[in-house]
Structure formats: structure tokens, C-alpha cells
Structure 1
């Protein structure tokens, strides 16, 4: 069994995706928030945003905050928020849509301490990307935003949501991302929530997931930038299976972040905070874990019932509960929730069958604990 037992871990968050606003100038077919232009009622006020950053910086120094949305640049006070976090020593990054990133605003990002931006490219051409984002000109706006970022020396990465409509384009999108000069490419496997709940027919089938994630593994040493599948926890099982077949032990000294990270980090080293201050394990799992208007995030992180459940890997249901890779994979809790209504259920898009030995060991642990 790989990974340190949950009971022995000190749970420290490393990353928060913060939806500073839900207002957005795109209309993406997969959007978890079904975001529109807005304005949306009850969004956190400036002083609440600054207090949230104060709490996080005090409890978890050197933390990463992703300013996301919606379109984070649609907040009038976004520069004040970003500058405050930077001043506190937090690593501030941003996920803008592209339309608002002029050379002037890109320079402003650098001035207030934004250390990286992420842009989404979901198609190889303007036609395929714009069809997915449902706004004409979206592709060209991202390309211009990237050029503006490069002009001012602002580091950027590219994210890609993978569905049936663009899976065949993925190798060429990767090539394009490398040529554009991105620091990283993070393809996301579609999680069908929000508007995305209507796109289950576009989610690639489990067998294709396995094939695609194996392709990721085969590419990991060939790509000159960070290439990380996201919302695809079973990659870390596939990665270890293939290394084991080669007689290689996975360790940080030789495998870097791939050896240190876990498939699903929600509630374990990652959290999401909504535009109204609601805390979730991630943006795709719409289950409230706390409210920063009622208690500090630092307290929610330590006491939330849902967060504690996320950390109890042996209590996952179905195959995920007894899989020998549960401590490095864990399945996608949001995908389990979307398909079953229970975030503790097994990952519905994984084809792996755990060994009988692992299943028997799990049953013995349950019996010893007095559980059925």
C-alpha cells in the first residue's frame, strides 16, 4: 500500500480556487456555475474578501490562491484583492477568460503581484473553441490575451476541458500550447455539473478514459512543460501500475510532483470558496462545507464534516473503498455525486477492478472495527 495512512496525516491546504465573482462574459456549455453576465446578489464585499485573505495568510502561509469566476476581472476591486493577498505573502494567480486581458491589464496583473494566469483553450480552431465557449471571438481573445501576457512577461498556463468533441484534437492542442510558450498544460476531464450536467453524452466513456490517461503517462517524459491531467484521479493509479511493471519505485526524488500529489485533493489539500463565501471541497461538488461569513476558513478546514469524510479513504464505498490505490487516487468525488447522489460512492468512470486480496483486507478492517 502506497501513501501515508490518513490518520497519521496533518491536513494542510495548499490551494484554494476562489470564485471572486460569478459574473462572466462567456456562456460555456460545460460551466459548473451556469454563469452569466450578472450581477449576482450577495457576493462578498471588498472588506470580507480582504478579511478572508488575512485569515488564510495567518493560518496557512505561502498558500496559493486562484482568483477565478466567472470572470474575476469583472470585479471592480480585483486589483485591490490581488495586491492585498500578494502583500500577505500568498501566491496569487488568476484565471481570466481572455476578453479583458489587454496589454495594459496584463501589466496591471504583474504590478499587483499576480504570478501566473491560466487561459482555456478547448479547441484547435476558433470554430471548435467558440462552439464550446458559445461566444464568437472567444478563441481569438484568448490568443490575444496570451500575446499580451508574453509582452509584459506574465507567466501563463493553458487548461483544456476534454470531451468527445475535442478528444481527437488533444495531441495537436498540446503542440500548440508548447509553441505558444505556456509553462504548463492542464487538461481537465469533464465533470458533469452545472450546465455540464446536460453534457453526460459528451463525457468520454470509461474505456476511453483509461486509454487517454495511458497516453498522458506515455507523454509525461516527452513534453518539455508541466503536463498534468486534472479531475482525472485514476491517472495516479495508471502511472504507478506502469512504473511497477517496469520495476520502478515511485518516489519524489525521481518522479517529482507525480509522486507527491494525489488524484482527488478536495478537502485534503484543496478547497473551493464561492462568490458568496460558501466553502466546498471543489467547484464541481456543490455540497456546502461551511461559510466564511459565519466562521473563518481556517476553522472550517479543520472541523467540516464533509472535509473529514474526504480524508477517510477507507470509508469510500464500492470499489474505491477497498482499492489498493485509494490513497493515491481516491476517485472523483464530484463525479460520483453527479451520477449517484452520494459523494462517497465509487468513481463511476474507472474500469479498474481491485484485487480480491485488497477486498478481503478491507472487509477484515471493517469487521475489526465492528462495521458490517
Structure 2
């Protein structure tokens, strides 16, 4: 450990592993064009051989519970693709976490429902990628998955869990956004809203998807975000809605110059939040694996304690440091690495996105018009 590293660690607030993510697998039964993590099917046998066993997940769950983790996300890939999912779920659940489950809802079998009924998640995040078989074929490569998802969601709604609908919009389902929301309200109830991924990043950690070829152009991304936001305003204010009074404003944030020095990565990753990967590595977040410690070799406590020493000193992007829009930017270490291959790279896609938002703020957004973007 260098003197500089030692000094930075001394200045850093205490790290507490309160929020964890268990990535049971990176395998999935769908082939979504924009997936961050999915590997090619030819790698599945090798991945299966290295995936943690149910006993290993149980052991790790006990360790993180003792270390102070209270909130836990179970995700993948698609976690239900594992033949031992029910066994893993029961073992982890019994440790007493507040558990969230992320799933595409296409593999909700009777055995899965029996397990989840006995051990219900506190929250379930369900992804919907379209409102038709055709869109599911275009986005996920599987027509039948549309009806499997609808049937699976109906089953999951029988649980006492809070259900959150999530989606990622790319060129192939851009035309389906309103239809997805209408489908949710018609099929499952008007109380449910749809959460959309704001920035679609390039694939990370060996993922095989060619995201750059299918994601929206920044202009379309912003149009969509503003249109959905305005629709929500219309619903809230009803007859008092007046488009001429719409404007975009920015609240000044606190100076961020010391953020990187007061945390590992400028966020909660590795400070209060962490991910344990499908093969037992401790990661700061699910998007980053170019530095890690080994939970299987060291145990969780030691892996957590040693983790800061595995984190390289991050160099700031000079161009970003001087940018007037840096507080509006959706950039982080993970997005920089995914988009540019460098932790100090300047991602052109996100720069374009941020510039559009900055323009709307500068112009006030009075009399909002999608065509002005």
C-alpha cells in the first residue's frame, strides 16, 4: 500500500456493506439485443461449471448477513434459469434479508411459485420488452416469450410482493412504449407504472450484445424521456395542464470535486453497495469486474476489507472536469469503461445526451416541442 493510498483510505468514510446483489448467473433464456451481461450460448457449459452451488450461496448469505447486509437483490442473467433456483432461494431467504427479485417472468413454473409463495420476495422487478409477439421476437429473439411473460406476471401477482414493471427501449421496441404501458394497466391494473432504463450502455464483462447498433440515438432517447414525463404531468394535474407553462430548470448541486476522494468510485459502489458475481467475485457493482476480490478464497469479511486495495486510483477525464454540464451527466466509472474502454474516457454517446438536456435547460423549455430537440 502506498502512502497516497493509505492517506485516501484514512480520509474515506467508514464502509458498511448494507446493500448487496447476488448475481446467480449470467445465463438467460432470452437473447435480448441490448443485454449488458448475456454471454453467447456457446459459453454456457463453461459458465455452468463455474457457477456457485446452492451450498456456496447459502454460506455467503450467512456471511453477508453477519456483516450487516439487510437489503439483497437476487438477479442474473435470468435467475430462474438455474435448475436449483428454488433451493438457492430458500437457503438465502432464511437468512432474513429484505429481498428483491429481478426476472423476465418467462420461467415461472409451479415449483417456482410454490417456493415463492412460501418465501415471498418483498419486491419483484419484472421486465417487459414489448406489447406483442412480434416485438418480443425483434428484441428478445423469442416470440413465445411474450405470452410466457404475461402468464408468469399473472402468477407473480398472486404473491404479497410489491411488483415493479421495468423496460429497456431500443430501436426495435421504440414504437411500443405507449402500448407497453397500456398493456400493463389493462392486463394487470391501473396502479402499476413503467420504469424505463434512462441510458442504454454497451455490454460489459464479456457480454456479447452489440448494443451500439440497436440503442436509440440520444435525440430519440431524450424525446422519449420528456414525452413520458409530460404524460405523467398531464395525468397528475388533469384539466389544469397548460403546456405553455412548462419549463425545465436545474437545481444547483453541491460541489463534487472531492467525491472521488470520499468514496471509491464517486458513488455508493464498494462503500455501502456491492455485488457478488455468479463465480464468487466481490465487485463494486454489477457493471464493473476489472477489479475485484475473491469471496470464495478469502471469505466475505476479508474480501470486503481488502476491496479498496484492489481499486485502482481513478484518473479524471480532463474534458469532463471542465465541462459545464458535468452535474447533469449520467456518466460514472462503469459507463466510461463500457463506452470507451477506459475509466477516464469521455463517452461520446453520453456527451450528446447531456448536451441536449443542457440545451433544454438553457432555453427554459417553454412551450416544449419534441421537434426542438
Q: Give the TM-score normalised by the residue count of structure 1.
A: 0.70
Larger RCO: Structure 1 or Structure 2 (Cα < 8 Å, ≥ 6 residues apart)? 2
CA deviation string 1:43-92 (max 9, x = no partner): 112222112111211222422x2222233223344333323333322122
Q: Given the alignment, which residue of 202, 211, 218 partners 1:192? A: 202
Distance (whole Å) between structure 2 residues aligned to residue 140 and residue 219 of structure 1? 28
Aligned residue in 2 for 1:331 = 331
Work out whether 1:126 is the aligned partner of 2:130: no
Contact 1:333 1:343 in 2 (8 A): yes
Q: What residue number does 2:23 align with?
A: 19
Distance 1:45 1:74, change over 3 A: same
| Superposed CA RMSD | 3.8
Contact 1:301 1:307 survives alignment (8 Å): no
Deviations 1:14-50 (A, max 9, x none): 5433221334322333332225393421211222211
Report if aligned partners of 2:34, 2:215 keep a CA contact under 8 Å in 1.
Answer: no
**Which whole-Å CA distance do the structure 2 matches of 1:70 and 1:59 have between them?**
26
Q: Which residue of 2 aligns with 1:204?
A: 216
In the other structure, the counterpart of 2:38 is: 33
**Deviations, residues 116-150 of structure 1 (Å, cap 9, x unaligned):** 22222112211112321112301110000011112
Q: Please say if 1:158 is aligned against 2:165.
A: yes
> Compared with structure 1, are the counterparts of its residues 61 and 22 closer, same or farther at alpha carbon in structure 2 (3 Å cutoff)?
closer
- Structure 1 unmatched ranges of 5 or more: 1-5, 225-240, 252-261, 356-372
- Tell me, yes or no, if the aligned pair for 2:128 and 2:166 is still in contact at 8 Å: yes
TM-aligned CA deviation for residue 308 of structure 1 = 5.4
How many angstroms apart in 2 are the aligned matches of 1:14 and 1:347? 31
Instruction: State how far apart, in whole Å, the 1-side matches of 2:52 and 2:217 are.
Output: 39
Q: Cα distance 1:209–1:131, how it changes in 2: closer, same or farther (>3 A)?
A: closer
SS of 2:167's partner is strand
SS in 1 for 2:153: helix
Mapped partners of 1:92, 1:34: distance in 2? 26
8 A contact 1:192–1:199 mirrored in 2: yes
The answer to whether 1:350 aligns with 2:351 is: yes
Matched-pair contact (CA < 8 Å) for 2:86–2:111: no
Structure 1 stretch displaced more, 50-59 or 324-333: 324-333
- Return closer, same or farther for 1:35/1:184 CA change in 2, 3 Å cut-off: farther
Unaligned runs of 5+ in 2: 1-8, 237-246, 255-264, 359-373
Equivalent in 278, 281, 296 of residue 278 of structure 1 = 281
Q: Deviations over 1:319-363 (max 9, x none)?
A: 4435577578561433321332112323431334699xxxxxxxx
Given the superposition, is the C-alpha separation of residues 270 and 177 from structure 1 closer, same or farther in structure 2, using an over 3 Å criterion?
farther
Counterpart for residue 43 of structure 1: 51
Bigger Cα Rg = 2
Cα deviation, 1:159-180, whole Å, max 9, x if unaligned, reads 2122122223223323333442
In structure 1, C-alpha distance between the alignment counterparts of 2:103 and 2:167, rounded to whole Å = 14
Check if 1:321 corresponds to 2:331.
no
The partner residue of 2:88 within 81, 91, 112 is: 81
CA distance in 2: counterparts of 1:218 and 1:308, whole angstroms: 41
